[in-house]
Amino acid sequence: MLLRVVLKSLARRRLRVAVAALAVALGSLLVSSLAVLSLSVAQQARQELRAYGANLLLVPQSVSAPVGLGALGMGTVAEAAELPPATLEQLASSPPTDVIAYAPFVYGLARLGDGSQSADVVVSGTNLAQAQALSPWWQVAGAWPATLPPTGPRQALVGTDISQKLGVAIGQEIALSGPGGQSSWRVSGVLSTGGSEDSQIVMDLAPAQSLLGRQGVDLVQLRAQGRQPALEATARGLEAAIPGSQARVVRQVASAESSVVAKVQGLMALVAMLVLVAASLAVFSTMATTVLERTPEVGLMKALGASPNRIGLMFTLEATAIGAAGGLTGFALGLAVAQAIGKSVFGSYLPASLWALPATIAVALAVALLASLWPIRRAVRIEAARILRGE
Amino acid sequence: MEPIITAHALTKRYNGTTALDRVDLTVAPGEWLAIMGPSGSGKTTLLNLIGCLDLPSEGKLLVAGTEVSRLSGKDLTRFRRETVGLVFQQFYLVPYLTALENVMLAQYFHSIADEAEARQALDEVGLGGRLRHLPSQLSGGEQQRVCIARALINEPKLVLADEPTGNLDRANEDLVLGLFKRLHEQGHTVVMVTHDPEVAGLAQRTVHLDHGRLAEAVPTASG
Ligand SMILES: Nc1ncnc2c1ncn2[C@@H]1O[C@H](COP(=O)(O)OP(=O)(O)OP(=O)(O)O)[C@@H](O)[C@H]1O
Ligand SMILES: [Mg+2]
C-alpha cells in the first residue's frame, strides 16, 4: 500500500521528480566518470609520463654540469672525459634493479657534405633500440635505420631541423667526415623529438664512435622507478658500481609526474564536490516543495493514524526512488562519457571497473537521501491537529 | 453505563489565547452530540482534543476509559487509530489516490488494507460505482461520502465530524446526514460540530461553546 502511494505520488509529480532525478544523474555521472577517469589518469599518466625519458643521467665524474641535453655538444664534449666502454658492459650484465630503460649517448662534431656545400653538424650515437624504449615519443618519418643494411651504405636518422635547413631528404646519401675518418650514409628517416635531437644526425653507437674516433660514451640516460628519495639511492648505487661516473637525478621530470597526477585528481575531486552540491540542492528543493505541497495530505495521514515512522518511510522511499533512478541513469551516461573521454584523451577505451556501478548508485542515493533529510524531518513533524482546523 | 467521553476542567491554550476554558463534558455511548458556537469559540479545538489529535494544556480527558490527556504522542496516535473515526469539513482525500485507495489507506494505517472490505464500505455510502474515481472526478457530496466510508472502515467507537455538511448543497447535505442518522441508529457515538441549528436538531443533545466556555442548551431526552 505504501509503495502504491509512493509510486502514484511520484507519477503525479513526474516532471519535477524527473528533473530532480536528472540532477542526481548528472551529479553521479560526473562523479563516476571522474572517479573512473581519475583512476585511469593516475595509471595512464604514470605510463605516459614514464615516456618522458630519463630521470637519471650518468656522466663522467669530471664533466662540470650538463644541465640539459641541449647544453651538450659543441666543443666542450670533446675535451671532457668519457665513460669507458666497460660502463655499458657493466650496465648490460648487471643492470640496477630499479632501472627500467637506459640508453648510452656519444656526441661529436662532423662535417656534412664536401666542398662549398658542407656544414658542421652534431652527430649523436646511441643504441637506437634502447633510445626508442627510453623515449617512445621519438617520431621517425621514413624508417628507423637498419642495423646492418644488406646493400649500400650504413643508415642514419637526420633531425628534422637539419633536414629542413640543409635540404636533406629521406633516401638521400650523405657524406660525413669526423675525427675518426670519412664515410657515406643513407638517410633512412627524419627524426623529430621536440628536443636537441632535431638538429642532430642520430645513428647507431658503434659507427658513430668510429666516425668520431671515440671509444667510450659521453653519458647514459636512465629511466628508473620511484620518486625522489628512491632515485637518489639508485643514483648513489650507480656511482658505486661504475667507477669514475657521476649520477644525477633529473629533478623536473621526476617531481612533475606525481604533482601532475595529484593536481588533476584534486581538480576532479573539486569539480565532483561542486556538482554534488548542485545535485543535492536540486533534490532538496524538490523534496522541500513536495513536503510543503503535501502538508495537508500528511496531516490527514497522521489523523488517520499514520505513525511518524510511516510518514518518514514514505518520503524516504520517494527520495530513494529519485536517487536510484538518478544513479542508474548517471551510471549509464557516465560509462559512455568516460569511454568517450578515454578514447579521445588516451586513445584507448578505459576498463569499466566493477565497483563503478555500486559506487555511482551509492553516491546518488547518498546525495538524494542526505538532501532529503531536512524535508523529511519537516514532514515527520507535521501536526495532525491542523487538519481538522482547515489550516 | 460508563460515559465514552469524560472531560473535566479541560483547558487548551495557544501561546496566550485560551481556546478552551475549563470545559466539563460527558458523552454517553451511542449518543449523538452536536457542538455549536460562533467562529473561534473553540469547537474545533475541543474536537481535536477528543479525537486525540492534540493534547490539553490542563484538565483531564477520558475517552473510552483511557485517560488520553496522559498519553504520549506515539500512544496517542495508536489510540486514535483504534478508537476514532474523523470526518472533516473539507473533504480531505489524497488527490492522487482513487476513492477505493483512499479508504484502503485508512485500513493500512490501522492494520492491513483489505480491498473487499473497502469496496463494501463505499457500497454502503452509495459509491459502489465510483471506486476507481479520483477525488477530482467526484462531486463534493461524493467526496464527503468517501470520507465517511473511510472514517467508518476501522469500526471506531467514536465518530467525530467537524461541520461535515458545511460545504455541501441541500441534496448532498441530506444524503450525508442520512448516513450519520444510520450510524447513530447502528449504535455509534457521534460528536458533530455544526453551525446549522437544523443539523443540530437531529442530535440528541446540543452544547454551545462561547469563548471557550461550555453552556448546555437543549437537554437530552434520553440522557
Ligand atoms: N494553532 C493555533 N495557534 C494559536 N491559536 C489557535 C490555534 N488554533 C486555534 N487557535 C485559536 O483558538 C481559538 C479557537 O479556535 P477553533 O479553531 O477551535 O475555533 P472554531 O470554534 O472551530 O471556529 P470555526 O467555527 O471558525 O471553525 C481561536 O481564537 C483560534 O484563533
Ligand atoms: Mg472549526
**pLDDT mean values, one per 10 residues, chain B (223 residues):** 90 91 93 93 92 91 90 88 88 91 94 93 92 94 93 91 89 91 92 92 93 72 43
Give the mean pLDDT of chain A: 82
Sort strands B189-193 and B158-162 into parallel, antiparallel or unpaired: parallel
Could you tell me which residue, B10 or A349, shows the higher pLDDT? B10
Strand, helix or coil for residue A248: strand
Per-residue pLDDT, averaged over A97-121, amounts to 85
Nearest ligand atom owner, CA of A383: 1
Q: How far is CA B153 from CA A322, B53, B66, in A?
A: 33, 19, 22
Mutate to test the pocket of ligand 1, among B13, B18, B44 (most ligand atoms within 8 A of CB): B44
pLDDT at A76: 44
Nearest chain A residue to B152 by CA distance is A304
Q: Which residues of B touch A296 (CB under 8 A)?
A: 92
Kindly state the DSSP code that residue A26 receives in the 8-state scheme.
H
- Residues sharing a CB contact under 8 Å with residue A173, sequence separation 6 or more, in sequence order: A152, A153, A184, A185, A186, A187
d(CA B19, CA A135): 88
pLDDT at A267: 83
- Residues sharing a CB contact under 8 Å with residue A60, sequence separation 6 or more, in sequence order: A80, A81, A82, A83, A218, A219, A244, A245, A246
- Inform me whether the pLDDT recorded for A34 exceeds 80: no
d(CA B3, CA A187): 116
- Inform me whether the pLDDT recorded for A47 exceeds 70: no
Tell me the CA end-to-end span of chain A in Å, nearest whole number.
27
**Which of B167, B153, B62 lies closest to B115, judged by CA?**
B153
- Inform me whether the pLDDT recorded for A73 exceeds 50: no
- Inform me whether the pLDDT recorded for A53 exceeds 80: no
**Which of A253, A223, A216, A255 lies closest to A238, judged by CA?**
A223
Nearest CA-CA distance, residue A268 and chain B, Å:
43
Tens-digit pLDDT profile for residues A192-214:
887 788 899 999 999 999 999 99
Strand, helix or coil for residue A79: helix
User: Do A304 and B94 count as a contact with CB atoms less than 8 A apart?
Assistant: no
- Residue to substitute from B82, B86, B112, interface A, most A β-carbons within 10 A: B86
List A residues 226-285 in contact with B (Cβ-Cβ < 8 A): none
pLDDT at A65: 46
| pLDDT class of A240 with cuts at 50, 70, 90 | confident
List A residues 309-328 in contact with B (Cβ-Cβ < 8 A): 310
Asked whether B214 and B201 are in contact (CB, 8 A), the reply is: no
CA angle B160, B163, B164 (to 5 degrees): 75
**Which of A80, A84, A147 lies closest to A108, judged by CA?**
A80
Distance of CA A157 from the midpoint of ligand 1 (Å): 97
Nearest CA-CA distance, residue B6 and chain A, Å:
20
User: Do B89 and A9 count as a contact with CB atoms less than 8 A apart?
Assistant: no
Assess B104–A contact: CB distance below 8 Å, yes or no. yes
pLDDT at A375: 94
**Residue located via cell numbers 633529473:** A250
Q: Which residues pair with A183 in a beta bridge?
A: A176
Tens-digit pLDDT profile for residues B143-197:
999 999 999 999 898 999 999 988 888 988 999 999 999 999 999 999 999 999 9
Whose Cα sits closest to atom 13 in ligand 1?
A: B19
- Inform me whether the pLDDT recorded for A255 exceeds 60: no
Mutate to test the pocket of ligand 1, among B36, B39, B41 (most ligand atoms within 8 A of CB): B41
ipTM: 0.90
Q: Which residues pair with A125 in a beta bridge?
A: A106, A203
pLDDT at A349: 60
pLDDT at A282: 92
Residues that place a CB less than 5 A from ion ligand 2: B 44
Strand, helix or coil for residue A211: helix
d(CA B10, CA A350): 73
pLDDT at A351: 60
Largest alpha-carbon pair distance within chain B? 49
Q: Of how many residues is chain A composed?
A: 391
pLDDT at B26: 93
pLDDT at B2: 85
- Inform me whether the pLDDT recorded for A322 exceeds 90: yes
Give strand ranges (E) for A9-98.
Answer: 56-60
Kindly state the DSSP code that residue A152 receives in the 8-state scheme.
S
DSSP string, A276-329: HHHHHHHHHHHHHHHHHHTHHHHHHHHHTT--HHHHHHHHHHHHHHHHHHHHHH
Per-residue pLDDT, averaged over A276-292, amounts to 92
pLDDT at B28: 94
- For the question of whether the overall pTM of this predicted structure is more than 0.90, the answer is no
Q: Which residues of B touch A297 (CB under 8 A)?
A: 92, 94-95
Distance of CA B39 from the midpoint of ligand 1 (Å): 8
Pairs across A and B, CB distance < 8 A = 80
Per-residue pLDDT, averaged over A272-298, amounts to 91
Kindly state the DSSP code that residue B93 receives in the 8-state scheme.
-
